[in-house]
Structure 1
């Protein structure tokens, strides 16, 4: 059976000992009321909810899935009751604007909550993830009347939001969308068209669903510059805030999926549905990206959460499963065989999974902190620098975290041997649920193209220079020099040099060959991911060493284990960058040489 315990000690270590969250929050007026004690209280209660309520529902959600009948969708047994409890507890508006009933928690804290949700029940978590993004977008772009009417209901969990982009004939190239919005006499719009793969498009969790829909006005320019954004509720919302008649929003079917079966993924038809323009005409894609950038970190955390629950479950199995003897001598001679955790190859898989999880938790927290700085910091320069780092690292957060998360679920499944292929152990569900995270919210290939195109070559490496400045400033402030930490510092210095060298080479290659960026994109994203993880592990190693020296709150065993896991990253995972550099240097010729007719 699967096993999950919220990693609260590691979360607190990352938040307080690595990133000094309380000090960060005190520097920003919007977050000055938050401290370590409050953060602990929030996450302890969230852990209770995740472990006791959501995690037991996870296998049922996978087995039952969502069911559609007569145009209505029913979520798996127990989902509605769990959602009602969450809504009552205020969990739907954690990061929401306090002016409209949200709790205003910083992203550094809410991203940890997201991890608990994804780890315990990914299918359930996705309803809240889309709602959080919808609330964020409306708070940024809607007028006061729309905010007052919709945000309190979204934050309270009375209604849930969605994001409607993709159409049957187009995915990434949204400039091809056919959904149309025609002005009505009342200042609103009649929205007509079809969308696919809509998470939470129809369900029984709430009495209304608020769709954020990309569509084109009659006078729209061609391509992506002609896209506008509309709020289209499932049921019309009257002037007094009560619900009126159905709004021409029809669920055309449920997708039959490999995983995340507890999440209702719908085909949605808008048949002259009344919509409200959000933001300026023809500027909808820019507004939607406000939501999508936060969603991309959230989906990265999906990979992290699933990697952690897969690891924990595999370790519980490895402690109990007995086979053969430990190298050299029996670990438990009074037993017929030793637990498989004594074997070096099982240790390899377990440490791979653990190092990716702990490195990912550091990276997700770092990106969340930079999002907070970019939004709340009173210093314009700090906000600008943080915004640059967020722009650079958002595609990495989505793609690298989900690539590593999926790899971790597969590694953990392997620990079980044949049992991992059988449903009752839960490992195969984690693999299936993690796979989608590499695809939606922009495939990982698209993330790589965004990174190398918009974030590297377009500005000639300016964002990478900003990252290098931050890393070197950290290195210059280093006041701890011990033999245990020296390998981490040396690795960071080496990987920073490699990143700058490869970045310059890619920029130069792009000038000579239009195919060069695309050929390098996947490998470059991973190379940058390894470099940033090296930075994160250096930070964590310093915090662990400081904890050992000062008898820190996490305990000596925790700190020693952190250093050992960090060394595993340096010695067993980081060497992959050498192959990535060679692959990037190979250029596009090998990829483009074979004529299309030969495929």
Structure 2
């Protein structure tokens, strides 16, 4: 059976040395989040994930969900008890305000828990993850009555949440949606239509499911300008908070999927279901984007999560599997062969994954802290800077971390040879589960276009210039540090490539938009490489400082620095290739006639 151990030690290095969490004690919820408290919380979360969630991952994949003739859905054996352990431990409301039953702690802690949960059991972790996204949308755009009605029960875990966007004929282009909303005359609307690919749309884990549904009010403008968002509970809620009649919403079928078999991905039918408007009429996308941006960051976490758990299993296998002898002579002469971890190509593969995982985790922590600042700071300039960062980094985190997370899961599977292709080892599941992260919550090509087409030029390029300035300043401040030479010089070069690519788009994409479209994915990955290179440079500096303090951590810090050096030497130079692709433009890409494909 596959193994998993939550990387608490690595997380605490990030929160103590790289991005000291105590610097944010001026923000609500942070004063209580002392390093000792954070370590205790994450330690308990790790036990939950390792002992309860992870053992159900393989069996849940094999068993899957079952839809019954009455439309109800049963999740795999053990899922309900595991979910109840999660909800009962107060994890659902970790970062929700105390007035709704939450603990009000930093969202950053919830992001880290999402990694642990997703590594342990991605399919099971999606049920509470979607609920937390729905709560985020209600917190920002819901009325006081809606918050009082739904949030305490969702925080408690008695009710879960979903997001309903996609329809059979429309995915990314939501302006095409047909689900309609007709006023009932009492403040509610009758919602009618079909939604597909609805994760956790129906299940047996909670007594009620709170659906957030995009629909068009009768007479509303065509396109995205006429879309509204509604809260549509599975069971209607009486004035005293108890559950009433079953609403006009049902699961028509379950999708048969490549992976995440333990999560119920549903076709949802709305037949005059009663719903209530969230936020303003015809401005539903504004409200839904709160949930979608939360979800996109969470999906970036999922990309890392599958890479991390696949890596852990690949390392364990590489240390045990005997095959051949080291090129420099036997390392274990008492054994019939050496373990495969002695071979350079195996080490190259494992270090590629390890160096990605640690950089990706740092990027997520950096971005999660910015989210906390954007939502909690009273300093308007600080909030704006953090919000700029979030807007710029969301497509990068979602697109790059899931593309590379999948690639790393495949690399980890490769370490097993033929055994990696056999289901009993569990490596196939990590690959299959990782694959969806590149698709849902906006396919990665769309993320790249969002970055290039919207985020770069937003507010006169304020966000991208702030990123350039921060990374450039770091390089300048540390250029004279001989110990950081192997980090600063390649980072400076990668930053130069990113700046050249940005300038090329400014000069060549306005008159010819296809140039932006043809280079968008390469630009997103070029940006991701530089961002992760910056993370490694910051981690290396922190590791050197920590090592100088002593405290018996020299070996661990040396390993950290060596892993970072591998990234800077073997991965970051790919920025040159990305730049070369971008600057070839779109001519060849667009020249082939449609009939020739």
Measured in 2, the distance between the counterparts of 1:552 and 1:109 equals 26
Partner of 2:558: 560
4+ aligned runs moved over 6 Å, structure 1? none
Measured in 1, the distance between the counterparts of 2:568 and 2:472 equals 19
| Paired residues of 1:201 and 1:251 also in contact (CA < 8 A) | yes
Partner of 1:525: 524
Within 5 A, what are the aligned runs for 1:227-242?
227-242=227-242
Partner of 1:176: 176
Partner of 2:143: 143
Name the stretch that deviates more: 466-475 or 58-67: 466-475
Partner of 1:321: 321
Name the stretch that deviates more: 504-513 or 385-394: 504-513
Q: 1:552 to 1:531 in 2, by over 3 A?
A: farther
Partner of 2:574: 576
1:54 partnered with 2:53: yes
Measured in 2, the distance between the counterparts of 1:483 and 1:413 equals 38
Measured in 1, the distance between the counterparts of 2:515 and 2:374 equals 32
1:28 partnered with 2:27: yes
Q: 1:239 to 1:477 in 2, by over 3 A?
A: farther
1:207 partnered with 2:192: no
SS at match of 1:139: helix
CA RMSD of superposed structures (Å): 1.2
| Paired residues of 2:250 and 2:268 also in contact (CA < 8 A) | yes
Within 5 A, what are the aligned runs for 1:196-345?
196-345=196-345
1:395 partnered with 2:402: no
Within 5 A, what are the aligned runs for 1:477-492?
478=478, 482-492=481-491
Q: 1:552 to 1:164 in 2, by over 3 A?
A: farther
Cα offset, 1:96, TM superposition: 1.2
State the Cα deviation string for residues 48-107 of structure 1 (Å, max 9, x = none): 000000000000110000000121100000000111111111111112121111112212
Partner of 2:422: 422
Within 5 A, what are the aligned runs for 1:528-543?
528-543=527-542
Cα offset, 1:37, TM superposition: 1.0
Cα offset, 1:185, TM superposition: 2.0
Partner of 1:44: 43
TM-score normalized by the length of structure 1: 0.98
State the Cα deviation string for residues 296-321 of structure 1 (Å, max 9, x = none): 11000001011000000011111110
Number of residue pairs matched? 596
| Paired residues of 2:236 and 2:243 also in contact (CA < 8 A) | yes
Measured in 2, the distance between the counterparts of 1:65 and 1:117 equals 18
State the Cα deviation string for residues 478-537 of structure 1 (Å, max 9, x = none): 4x9543311211122222222112101112111221211111110000000011111100
Measured in 2, the distance between the counterparts of 1:498 and 1:244 equals 60
SS at match of 1:288: helix
Cα offset, 1:168, TM superposition: 0.4
Partner of 1:3: 3
SS at match of 1:216: strand
Name the stretch that deviates more: 223-232 or 544-553: 544-553
Cα offset, 1:552, TM superposition: 5.1
Name the stretch that deviates more: 493-502 or 156-165: 493-502
Measured in 2, the distance between the counterparts of 1:552 and 1:447 equals 43
Partner of 2:594: 596
